[in-house]
Structure formats: C-alpha cells, structure tokens
C-alpha cells in the first residue's frame, strides 16, 4: 500500500508539472477564445467550447447611472457561468471625445465609473473602439484631434491601472470612423502615452477591410493585448465563408501572444453557429502552433 501511495504521488507530481508547463506554452491560445455577446448567452458560449464572454460596456455598465441602477447587471454578471473577461463598446456616441465639442471631463468621469464597475465583475480588458465618439468632425484639424485623444488616454490609463484593467485601442475600418483605422495608428497613440495599462487591439476583420498586413501584429509586439476575429466579406463567423486566419495566428505565434481572441461576428443562428465557429478557430490555431 505504501508503494502504491508513493507511485501515485510521483505520478500526480509529474502530471501537475506537465499541466503547468502546458498552460504556459504559446499553443494554449485555443483555451483563450470567447465571444462578444450578452451575459444571458454565456451558457451557449460555454457549450460551444468558449472560455469567456465579452460584453458591451456602455449598455452593461450604465456608467452615467446610479449604483442602484447598476446593481441588477452586477448580480447578473456574478451569476454568469463564464468569466466576463472583456468588454467592448466603451463610450456611447453622445460623449464627444474629439472635436470642438469634446467633453474630456465628462469622458473621464464616465471612465472612472465604467472601469470601477468593470473591475467589480472581473473584467481585465476594455476595448476602446467607440467609433462615433472618437470620429473627427468635418473640418476639425486631425493633429488637434490626435492631441485631444492622446490627452484623454493619458488621463484614463492611471484609472485603468488603479482597477487592474488594460484598455486596448481598437482600430476600425474607415466606413465606421475616420480616426485610428489601423493597428499601427493605434500603436502610435499607445507609444505616445507610454503607460502599461494602455495597449492596442488587432481585429482581423478590420485589418482585412483596410488591407493591413499581419506584419502589423509583429510590429505591435508586446503592446498587442487583445484580438477580435470575423470573416472579411460579411463579418460572418469563422468557417462560414472559409477565410484563412492562419497568417494572423502565425504573427501571434511569432510575438508569443498571451492575450485573448474574441469572436465579434454577425450570427444568423447563434446557438447552432457558435460551436462550429469556435471549432474552426481552434483548428486553424492548432495548424499553426503545431507546426515544427
């Protein structure tokens, strides 16, 4: 009996070391896949093989409403079957971030509440897209808009640090905004601010729409902390049209990427499409990371 216990202990130790080793290797990316959706759909994401959900910040955090108004959503978040690791849709469109009507004081008050509430429910990453809020009004100098946006980020980054959150600037295609359309443009802001809690996101859909090469991922390197994925033509889920995302995954492998990947797609039948979509992403990840 003593010999059995000793052997079992050794086997357990070896398996524990192996598991720990596997968890720190780059190919565990397939365990860091989630979907942008509502909290009530988390059971579908879980059944589909996803690891987390990404919620809409503006709608869910209710940052310009009282804590009493927030409490219902906070309770929903704490009962969620999956972690709510990230959130997008940061600022509502009626808060102007750049231009002659910019509201930096309101924007910072909003950030303080939104990031505090995000931290309360365990979010680690906030996606700073907010296309309407950050778009430059016609005739307004781009240099001035860049200065305003950079200044806002400089004020916001320490707030994010206080709550243990990383804010990632999301480049968006020109049809959605006229400001920060590529990963490299987002990176320029991040480098200008130079704060560890402000980084950049790569959205493969927007990159493809803008003709931006996966090489930008490599250039972003350690400043890349989050990714979004969808097919190029109609923003369908991976596997619908057969888009090849392996060049992006190869770039992520090269930089030893440690962030998450969220499916941000259009769905016709979410309950039946989520599983095949995540399976397709995992398949392509394995094909890249298993290469010798």
Tell me: the pLDDT tens digits for 210-229?
A: 999 999 999 999 999 999 99
Please, are residues 251 and 239 in contact by the beta-carbon 8 Å criterion? no
Mean pLDDT of the chain: 92
Query: Looking at residues 39-49, what average pLDDT do you find?
Result: 98
Residue at 4 is within a domain: no
pLDDT band at 28 (very low <50, low <70, confident <90, very high): confident
The more confident residue out of 213 and 11 is 213
Residue at 140 is within a domain: yes
Is 12 a residue whose pLDDT tops 80?
A: no
pLDDT band at 54 (very low <50, low <70, confident <90, very high): very high
Please, are residues 124 and 160 in contact by the beta-carbon 8 Å criterion? no
Residue at 18 is within a domain: no
DSSP symbol at 266: B
Please, are residues 95 and 103 in contact by the beta-carbon 8 Å criterion? yes
pLDDT at res. 27 = 58
**In the chain, what percentage of residues exceed pLDDT 90?**
89
Is 2 a residue whose pLDDT tops 80?
A: no
The more confident residue out of 6 and 221 is 221
Q: Poorest-confidence range of 16-25, 114-123, 144-153, 230-239?
A: 16-25
CATH of the domain at 67: 3.20.20.150
Residue at 265 is within a domain: yes
Is 5 a residue whose pLDDT tops 50?
A: no
Residue at 6 is within a domain: no
Residue 163 sits in which domain range?
25-289
Residue at 20 is within a domain: no
Strands 224-229 and 33-36: unpaired
This prediction has a pTM of 0.90
The more confident residue out of 41 and 292 is 41
142: three-class secondary structure by DSSP: helix
Please, are residues 243 and 283 in contact by the beta-carbon 8 Å criterion? no
Name the nearest CA neighbour of 170 among 178, 160, 156, 180.
Answer: 180
Q: How many domains does the chain have?
A: 1
pLDDT at res. 292 = 57
pLDDT band at 291 (very low <50, low <70, confident <90, very high): confident
Residue at 283 is within a domain: yes
CB atoms within 10 A of CB 249: 25
The rounded distance, in Å, linking the Cα atoms of 261 and 282 is 11
Residue at 16 is within a domain: no
Tell me: the pLDDT tens digits for 76-103?
A: 999 999 999 999 999 999 999 999 999 9
Is 169 a residue whose pLDDT tops 60?
A: yes
184 backbone dihedrals φ, ψ, rounded to 5°: -70, -35
Is 22 a residue whose pLDDT tops 60?
A: no
Please, are residues 258 and 84 in contact by the beta-carbon 8 Å criterion? no
pLDDT at res. 21 = 38
- Tell me the two tokens of residue 3: 């010999």
The rounded distance, in Å, linking the Cα atoms of 115 and 165 is 7
């Amino acid at each position: 009996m003593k010999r059995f216990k000793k052997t079992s202990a050794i086997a357990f130790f070896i398996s524990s070391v192996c598991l720990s080793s596997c968890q720190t290797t780059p190919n565990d990316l397939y365990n860091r896949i989630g979907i942008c959706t509502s909290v009530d759909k988390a059971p579908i994401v879980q059944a589909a093989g996803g690891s987390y959900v990404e919620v809409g910040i503006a709608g869910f955090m209710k940052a310009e409403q009282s804590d009493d108004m927030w409490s219902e959503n906070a309770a929903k978040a704490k009962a969620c079957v999956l972690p709510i690791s990230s959130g997008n849709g940061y600022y509502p469109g009626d808060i102007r971030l750049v231009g002659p009507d910019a509201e930096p004081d309101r924007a910072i008050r909003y950030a303080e509440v939104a990031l505090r509430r995000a931290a309360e429910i365990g979010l680690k990453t906030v996606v700073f897209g907010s296309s309407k809020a950050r778009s430059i009004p016609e005739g307004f100098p781009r240099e001035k808009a860049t200065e305003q946006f950079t200044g806002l980020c400089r004020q916001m980054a320490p707030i994010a640090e206080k709550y243990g959150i990383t804010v990632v600037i999301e480049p968006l295609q020109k049809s959605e905004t006229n400001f920060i359309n590529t990963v490299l443009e987002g990176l320029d802001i991040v480098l200008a601010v130079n704060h560890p809690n402000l980084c950049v996101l790569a959205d493969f859909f927007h990159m493809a729409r803008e003709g931006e090469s996966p090489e930008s991922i490599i250039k972003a390197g350690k400043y890349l902390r989050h990714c979004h994925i969808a097919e190029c033509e109609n923003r369908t889920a991976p596997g619908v049209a057969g888009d090849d995302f392996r060049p992006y995954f190869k770039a992520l492998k090269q930089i030893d990427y440690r962030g998450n990947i969220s499916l941000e797609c259009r769905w016709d039948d979410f309950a039946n499409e989520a599983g095949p979509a995540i399976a397709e992403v995992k398949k392509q990840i394995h094909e890249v990371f298993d290469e010798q």
